[in-house]
Amino acid sequence: MRLHVAADGTVERLETGADPGPNDRRLDGVVLPGAVNAHSHAFHRLLRGRTHQSSAAGDSFWTWRELMYTQASRLTPELYERVATAVYAEMAATGWTSVVEFHYVHHAPDGRPYGAEDGGPHAMELALARAARSAGVRLTLLDTVYLAGGFGLPLQPEQQRFSDGSAHAWVERLASLRDAVAERFDARQVRLGAALHSVRAVPPEALPEVAAGIDAVLGHDAPVHVHLSEQVAENEACLAATGLTPTGLLAEHALLSPRLSAVHATHLTDADIALLGAAGATVVMCPTTEADLGDGIGPARALADAGVTIALGTDQHAVVDPLLETRALEHGERLASRRRGRFSPADLTTAMTSGGRAASGGTIAGAAVGSLAVGEPCDFVVIDSRSTRTAGADPDQLVLCATASDVTEVLVGGRTVAAHGKHAQLGDPGALLARAVEDLR
């Protein structure tokens, strides 16, 4: 197949049965659409290899969270840009061509907005956007509202920098951020969306103002994400405070819709699954993170059967490999059901690619990524079909045997951003990460 690339980085024309010509550039391998990472917390990469096993008795998600807060407290805009640049370069090298960043570290550690000397009130957000531009990946930046430490609980000291203090203040900052992003970045590179951190972090009485603010500032088609039912304790607290499950609470406030992405959705009732399916929502599964944190195995097959779109994300970046994340989705289903083939290879490829497009509101920064077709961006991943891991595999089953080590080239907009594990402009992501982590510590 010969692909003709337009000047804007989209597929202009496709020819099948074409013989290579002297001016052609050959992509040697099986070509898939670029993977879309539908859930990322870039700074969580600092936890890799340091929090997988705690010496404390009763190690859990909640003890891990305290270690995460420690890393968040050390971030400055300058350091966060370096960390995020390295993380996004690692994504590019492994086959993620787009990322949806669920961002909530907004202010200085004491909760005060950054001043002009530190880059202004949007210093952290703009640092992430610059990092994505440097790494050559498309970014949907989800600015997150975070107002409480739990149902009826004030913010903890380490959560102060996540909060604007009120829904009104968050909406005002979101509007200002929208203008700042539009002024500085190409809309094809960076798109702004919104997120509620969780139902425990946004009081029920604030939900109407948050929802109205998102519509007013970003429009009715902007993507909205929320961490949902990752932990049984969250469900229990929500039931005790409101009489509803987290999904039921969102439904009561008309927040379930096709633009909503529920992240994790691990512990759902049958009624929750039906509500998400009827709304045409997306669920972003993060299988390697959910395994590392001991969250549990979410009901992915039941959700898909109910009409939910399944997308994939790397969340805390314990693993940054779209093929392993994709495979873990199927393996989790097999472990839970004791049956094979819960998702076909085509289903898995869709979750890895166009499922993430749904989680970003239909486009990533204005580009309808996730497919290989005329008019679509030339965002591709080339997989070696003759490696130690893949030799002899059927092409359509590569997602069940290949890893990021088999990714030979990654293109965004028709331009090579990485090849054989190295970033085209930034070099070895490992060296970038090592320097950033060293300086932070």
Contacts with 241 (C-beta within 8 Å, 6 or more apart), sequence order: 151, 152, 204
Instruction: Note the residue count of the chain.
Output: 441
Identify the H or E element spanning 16: none
Rounded to the nearest 5°, which phi and psi values hold at 35? -75, 145
* Catalytic position from the list 272, 292, 295, 315: 315
3-class DSSP state for residue 428? coil
Distance CA 136, CA 131 (A): 9
Distance of CA 43 to the CA centre of its chain: 13
Distance between CA atoms of residues 303 and 351, nearest Å: 13
What are phi and psi for residue 277, nearest 5 degrees? -65, -45
The DSSP bridge partners found for residue 195 are 144, 225
The reply to whether 315 belongs to the active site is yes
Q: Which of 44, 264, 317, 423 is catalytic?
A: 264
Q: Are 101 and 322 in contact (CB under 8 A)?
A: no
**CB proximity list for 40: less than 8 A, separation 6 or greater:** 87, 91, 99, 100, 101, 102, 313, 314, 315, 317
Taking every pair of C-alpha atoms in the chain, what is the biggest distance, in angstroms? Answer: 69
Rounded CA-CA distance 256/268 in Å is 15
Strands 30-33 and 282-285: unpaired
Give me the DSSP letters along 306-325.
Answer: HTPEEEE--BT-S---HHHH
Tokens read off for 440: 């932070």
Residue 276: C-alpha distances to residues 26, 34, 100, 301 (Å) = 43, 27, 20, 13
Q: Report the alpha-carbon distance of residue 437 to residue 423 in Å, rounded.
A: 18
For this structure, is 4 an active site residue? no
CA dist 35 → 31, 304, 412 (Å): 11, 19, 11
CA–CA separation, 287 and 282 (whole Å):
15
Provide the terminal-to-terminal Cα distance of the chain, rounded to the nearest Å.
49
Q: How far apart are CA 15 and CA 34, in angstroms?
A: 20
**Catalytic residue numbers, as ranges:** 264, 315
